[in-house]
Amino acid sequence: MIPELGHFAIILALLVAVVQGVLPLLGAHRNDSAWIGLARPAAQAQWLLLLIAFGCLTYAFIANDFSVQYVAEHSNSQLPTVYRIAAVWGGHEGSLLLWVLLLASWTLAVSLLSRALPEVMVARVIGVLGLVSCGMLLFILLTSSPFERLLDIPQDGRDLNPLLQDPGLVIHPPMLYMGYVGFSVAFAFAIAALLSGSLDATWARWSRPWTLAAWIFLTLGIGLGSWWAYYELGWGGWWFWDPVENASFMPWLFGTALIHSLAVTEKRGAFKNWTVLLAIGAFSLSLLGTFLVRSGVLTSVHAFATDPRRGIFILTFLVLVIGSSLLLFAWRAPKVGLGGRFALMSRETLLLMNNVLLVVACGSVLLGTLYPLIIDALGLGKISVGPPYFQAVFVPLMIPLLFLIAVGPTARWKQASVGDMTVRLRIAFAIALAAGIGLPFILGSWTPLVGLGVLLAIWICVSAIVQIRERFQKSGNPPPAFWGMQLAHLGIAVFVIGVTLVKGYETEKDVRMAPDDTVEVGGYTIRLLGVKDAMGPNYRASVGDLELSKDGKLLRTLHPEKRAYFSSAMPMTEAAIDTGFTRDVYVSLGEPVGVEDGSGAWSVRVHHKPFVDWIWGGCLLMALGGLVAASDRRYRLQSRFSAGIPSALKGATS
Amino acid sequence: MKRFLIPLGLFFVLVGFLAWGLKPGYDPREIPSPLVGKPAPLFELPQLMQPEKKFSPADMKGKVWLLNVWASWCVSCRAEHPLLVSFAQQGNLPIVGLSYKEVRGGDNFKVPEIETAQSKAAELALGLQRAETWLRQHGNPYTLSVMDIDGRVGIDYGVYGVPETFLIDKNGVIRFKQSGPVTREVFDEKILPKVKELEKS
């Protein structure tokens, strides 16, 4: 009964979405206030219905209702309750339901937080979001309902993939989806602005907090996913350039470009067409990611079970949404003015370079991701594209970008003087240069890449200090937007330090260890005491007992595990990590290799990873920076600045 | 106006490639074997049930047949096996089993640094015993089986993941190769149509 209610709620939500997607848009076109007024209640009703559907599915999981096919395939009566809830989005159908619920939640947020916006604009934005929702709900109902029943009710469920039975994976997908789906709001604002024909500074200011919010979630989601891969997959890597990872990274790159471009459009009224295109692009890439993960056209380690029918549906949906948006863009964009003029050397130019670099980087990731498919389609053979391509192409694009992070904010709008900026930043650059030359020697040995990484990170940090000092001298306490920017840029610097130092100085050893054997890594000694058997709720484990010590002093014990889940043939590795501010010691168990000789020996992999946690620390700082920037009062005082004030008058505030 | 259509144009190129990827039967994991269209490498190996007799692909001249590479330590082989057994019962096509590295491919076996005739014989005996036990337990779909105890023949056939299945025509030319377990779909959509075509010629 409950699953049928859930299914029914989705059908009702689709009907409401049709109303929400059609009438407010028509109303805005014909200036019919009754139809315009439908937008908010429809959005709220749709959210409530999808919440009910989601609740029904969650209930089916908690109650172990294995008559529901999706539950039978992704849960098990021995699965702990928290993972039963996480299993709701552990497969294709449920994760789609989460997708539409989050879309409805963003729409709800728009409907509640847009009192200051003109009603026509709100109606258009909510209408566009309703149309997107229509497509996804149809997709669920026609190809991927999570509420299908089974005639043969199995005794027990097949269990959630053991890789997903992890606290990190409980929150990673919702975060990531919040980011993906959140770009739909910036997209809807862009489409609404194109429809109304007024692409102006007000539109940019309305879009900014929403774009920032989506970007924060996406940043956290990607960071969490990378952290999870690091501690869960057992080989100590944190990014693999897998198509599914790239699918989340591409919207992030576009979203980052969009945040910067929106700033120019708001402050200077320039880049309008470009900004609209980025807003369409960021959401299009999110949809493309959905397609890549669920259609089976690419090989990936963590794609969903695929079905060509679903692929055809999403591709059609992609063509309708993205195709019509780009057509609308091609029709409206020629009439949009150019906005404020600027000189060759100005903050506008530097931000344009930022945008070009980010978009080209995104293009290179897209090309690498799709290259196997393209080559195969052209009949040129079968190839796979791995990390060497991405490192060779992506890193050189990031170097000028990192260099510009420190320069951009010091440039004036409209016209900047190179000589003036050189004077202001020359000491900062000298410090960075000294650090790039000297610091690697202190940490170990000097290599060009480590030197360059350190130089760029320190360059960003010292330049931030210069900017903050100048800012205080000029105008007192700067607004949150300024602090947000500095925090996010600092996050990039921290991230770069993490990547550079872990790449430059990490060491790893694969050894055969019998009890009482020791292995040295990065100045630490690890002694194997033994491996014991233990039972978990739905798995059997071999738990290693190892001692970590340095200079003869015992630091702690480590307990890596090798788990055999009852439901899966694949053994799982649970690494044991001693996390530190400047390094991780990472131990994972391989295979028992001493069975025949009775020595009880295991193959053990140990890593010493300097500064690896700075990678995720950097992501956190970036997200925090986004949060601070989004909290700027400006965005909440929108009603006072109505659309009439020319944007140029409000320039030079940050 | 024209330059504003560029994004739309690029998008449609992308859609073209994605749509191509959705065509029925497309599998990005499929790796074509360079051996397809080439004569099956020759070998001569002792038969599993009658080790005194030898088998060579030349013996199958004039027949369309399957060569299935398997091992008792291979987990996916177990998944594939019932399908082979039920297929063999229909009796349309001879299946020759190639037991691949039966002993050294599994766990817990170290190849001695200096191989002697004695160590080889011991390995072969252990392999024969394991393979026979496995076929007794899971059913024997094979017209006959041969032992590739040291994996030399596997090298000639480019075996990189067991199970692998080769379809060989009347002239001894490899016509199709499946890496990994053969599924019902692969049988119905790829192997059987090819067999029909080859038997006519």
- Distance from C-alpha of A137 to C-alpha of A46, rounded to nearest angstrom: 11
pLDDT at A641 exceeding the cut of 70: no
**Quick one: pLDDT at residue B87?**
84
Q: Is A329 at the interface with chain B, CB within 8 A?
A: yes
**Quick one: pLDDT at residue B49?**
79
Mean pLDDT of chain A: 88
Q: Is B122 at the interface with chain A, CB within 8 A?
A: no
What DSSP element (H or E) covers A630?
helix A613-630
By three-state DSSP, how is residue A528 classified? strand
* Residue B144 included in any domain: yes
- Per-residue pLDDT reduced to its tens digit, B143-171: 888 988 888 888 888 887 788 899 998 88
* Residue B180 included in any domain: yes
**Quick one: pLDDT at residue A382?**
79
- Distance from C-alpha of B33 to C-alpha of B177, rounded to nearest angstrom: 7
**Quick one: pLDDT at residue A590?**
83
* pLDDT top residue among A598 and A487: A487
Contacts of A569 in chain B (CB under 8 A): 75
pLDDT at A42 exceeding the cut of 90: yes
Contact flag B108-A595 (C-beta cutoff 8 Å): yes
pLDDT at A57 exceeding the cut of 60: yes
- Distance from C-alpha of A545 to C-alpha of B128, rounded to nearest angstrom: 40
Calculate mean pLDDT across residues A162-187: 88
Q: Is B29 at the interface with chain A, CB within 8 A?
A: yes
Report residue B31's pLDDT band, with 50, 70 and 90 as the boundaries: low
Residue of chain B whose Cα is closest to the Cα of A594: B108
- Distance from C-alpha of A89 to C-alpha of A170, rounded to nearest angstrom: 9
pLDDT at A646 exceeding the cut of 60: no
- Per-residue pLDDT reduced to its tens digit, B170-186: 888 888 888 888 888 88
Calculate mean pLDDT across residues A619-642: 78
**Quick one: pLDDT at residue A295?**
76
pLDDT at A375 exceeding the cut of 60: yes
Q: Is A380 at the interface with chain B, CB within 8 A?
A: no
- Per-residue pLDDT reduced to its tens digit, A115-148: 888 889 999 999 999 999 999 999 999 988 999 9
Which of A22-31, A332-341, A360-369, A506-515 bottoms out in mean pLDDT, i.e. has the lowest? A332-341
Contact flag B5-A330 (C-beta cutoff 8 Å): yes
* pLDDT top residue among B72 and A259: A259
Work out how many domains chain B is built from and give that number.
Answer: 1
Q: Which domain holds residue B77?
A: 35-200
pLDDT at A212 exceeding the cut of 90: yes
**Quick one: pLDDT at residue B84?**
87
**CATH number for the domain harbouring residue B103:** 3.40.30.10
* Residue B10 included in any domain: no
**How many residues does this entry show for chain B?**
201
Q: Is B1 at the interface with chain A, CB within 8 A?
A: yes
What DSSP element (H or E) covers A102?
helix A92-112
pLDDT at A91 exceeding the cut of 80: yes
**Quick one: pLDDT at residue A333?**
85
**Quick one: pLDDT at residue A647?**
40
**Quick one: pLDDT at residue B149?**
84
Q: Is B117 at the interface with chain A, CB within 8 A?
A: no
Q: Is A569 at the interface with chain B, CB within 8 A?
A: yes
pLDDT at A648 exceeding the cut of 50: no
Contact A208, A156 (CB under 8 A): no
Highest mean pLDDT among A313-327, A465-479, B154-168: A313-327
Contacts of A143 in chain B (CB under 8 A): none
* Residue B191 included in any domain: yes
Residue type, A183: F
Please report the ipTM that was assigned to this predicted complex: 0.85
Q: Tokens 């082989």, residue?
A: B77
pLDDT at A469 exceeding the cut of 70: yes
**Quick one: pLDDT at residue A49?**
96
Residue type, A154: P
* Residue B26 included in any domain: no
Contacts of B28 in chain A (CB under 8 A): 296-299, 372-373, 376
Q: Is B25 at the interface with chain A, CB within 8 A?
A: no
- Per-residue pLDDT reduced to its tens digit, A404-455: 999 888 888 888 788 888 888 889 999 999 999 998 888 888 888 999 999 9
**Quick one: pLDDT at residue A387?**
87
Calculate mean pLDDT across residues A536-550: 88
Which percentage of chain A shows pLDDT scores above 90?
Answer: 47
pLDDT at B65 exceeding the cut of 80: yes
Optimal mutation site among A326, A327, A367, A595, interface B, most CBs of chain B within 10 A: A326
* Residue B157 included in any domain: yes
Contacts of A281 in chain B (CB under 8 A): 7
Local structure of residue A635 (DSSP, 8 states): G
* Helices B6-21, A308-318: inter-axial angle, 10-degree rounding: 170
Calculate mean pLDDT across residues A171-199: 91
**Quick one: pLDDT at residue A10?**
96
Q: Which residues contact A554 (CB under 8 A, 6 or more apart)?
A: A547, A548
**Quick one: pLDDT at residue A173?**
87
- Distance from C-alpha of A43 to C-alpha of A113, rounded to nearest angstrom: 13
* Residue B14 included in any domain: no
**Could you write out the three-class secondary structure of chain B?**
CHHHHHHHHHHHHHHHHHHHHCCCCCCCCCCCCCCCCCECCCCCEEECCCCCCEECHHHHCCCCEEEEEECCCCHHHHHHHHHHHHHHHHCCCCEEEEEECCCCCCCCCCCCCCCCHHHHHHHHHHHHHHHHHHHHHHCCCCCEEEEECCCHHHHHCCCCCCCEEEEECCCCEEEEEEECCCCHHHHHHHHHHHHHHHHHC
Report residue A276's pLDDT band, with 50, 70 and 90 as the boundaries: very high
Contacts of B24 in chain A (CB under 8 A): 308
Calculate mean pLDDT across residues A557-581: 85
Mean pLDDT of chain B: 84
- How many CB pairs lie under 8 A apart between chains A and B? 72
**Quick one: pLDDT at residue A651?**
38
Report residue A88's pLDDT band, with 50, 70 and 90 as the boundaries: very high
**Quick one: pLDDT at residue A643?**
42
By three-state DSSP, how is residue A572 classified? strand
Report residue A650's pLDDT band, with 50, 70 and 90 as the boundaries: very low
Which percentage of chain A shows pLDDT scores above 70?
Answer: 94
Calculate mean pLDDT across residues A396-404: 93
Q: Is B8 at the interface with chain A, CB within 8 A?
A: yes
pLDDT at B119 exceeding the cut of 70: yes
pLDDT at A202 exceeding the cut of 90: no
pLDDT at A13 exceeding the cut of 90: yes
Contact B89, B82 (CB under 8 A): no
CA–chain centroid gap for A270, Å, is: 28
State the maximum Cα–Cα separation within chain B, in Å, rounded to a whole number.
82
Handedness of CA A253, A254, A258, A260 (dihedral sign): positive
* Residue B5 included in any domain: no
Residue of chain A whose Cα is closest to the Cα of B31: A382
For residue A429 the two structure tokens come to 């650059």
Residue of chain B whose Cα is closest to the Cα of A373: B21
